[in-house]
Amino acid sequence: MNLVAAAAIFFLMFVGVFQVIGRTAFNTAIHGYIDYMEQASALFAFLGISYAQRVGAHIRMDLLLRGFSMRFMWAMELFAVLVALVAITVLVETTWENFLRAWQLGDSTIDIKLPIWPTKLLVPLVLAVLWVRLVIQSIDYLRLIRHPDAVPIAVPVIETIEVQAQNEIEEALGREEGGREEKRP
């Protein structure tokens, strides 16, 4: 789903450039451009959520947890995931009801009457995938609380700032060295 979101952003960028060039250079526009952009924005706004949760790309307060035991850190992560799980459960139900209402009323955009139920269906489906991701993480956090030295499987690994910096340095140097090696005969 993250790749589909990235492809949608890439495609929408080209459509946006085409719209701007068409309006300025050729005095023409894409009919319903705003309606299409509104509907497509759900793709890149929601499809990457589960991936971001998987890799831990969300905002965290790691600084507050420094110095605590791994068991406490896993317990705090479990608490945060359980809070998110409750919120996502409510959101799945309410966004599903919102989709059903749009489906039954035949809701559409104002300009070109584009049906909006597919976009409204996308939201609860993606949130359901996130819900499954959160359940999987909860199970692994419970395992890690019992066995704090076990290898994390389905949760993002908490790295210190020093480890993150070292990984970025190694990645940058690895790319640089790879580029040098390719130039040699």
Range from 118-127, 131-140, 152-161, 171-180 carrying the lowest mean pLDDT? 171-180
Q: Give the pLDDT mean for 40-69.
A: 69
Contact 115, 106 (CB under 8 A): yes
Residue 33 lies in a domain: no
- For the segment 109-144, what is each residue's pLDDT rounded down to a tens digit? 777 887 888 888 888 988 998 899 899 999 999 999
Q: Which range marks the domain in which residue 172 is found?
A: 55-183
For the chain, what is the domain count?
A: 1
Q: Give the pair of three-digit tokens for residue 139.
A: 């199970």
User: Is residue 23 a part of any domain in this protein?
Assistant: no
Question: Residue range 170-175: average pLDDT?
Answer: 76
If you search the block for the tokens 């039954």, which residue do you land on?
A: 104
Q: What is the 3-state secondary structure (H, E, C) of 67-81?
A: CCCHHHHHHHHHHHH
User: In angstroms, how far apart are the furthest CA atoms of the chain?
Assistant: 67
